[in-house]
Amino acid sequence: MTQRITLYADEGRILTDGEHFGKVVTLSAGGDPSRWYEVSEEEYRERVAKIET
């Protein structure tokens, strides 16, 4: 059996590992959940806008 960890962001928050963003993140087998942290939606929008310019 392969064990997988799924992280869910709290209401109004977005998960990120610094590179990717999402409300729901399913880690790869053996993936490290400590790499993921929450940011506010405002910070998320700012970061995405920065990436895309």
Secondary element (H or E) of residue 5: none
Name the residue nearer to another protein (CB basis): 21 or 37: 21
Least distance (Å) from another protein to the CB of residue 6? 9
Taken as a whole, the chain contains a residue count of 53
Q: Per CB under 8 A, which of residues 1..53 are in contact with another protein? A: 1-4, 14-15, 17, 19-32, 35, 51-52
Q: How many CA atoms lie within 13 A of 10 on its CB side?
A: 4
Q: Check: CB of residue 26 under 8 Å from CB of residue 2.
A: no
- Contact residues toward another protein (CB under 8 A) are 1-4, 14-15, 17, 19-32, 35, 51-52
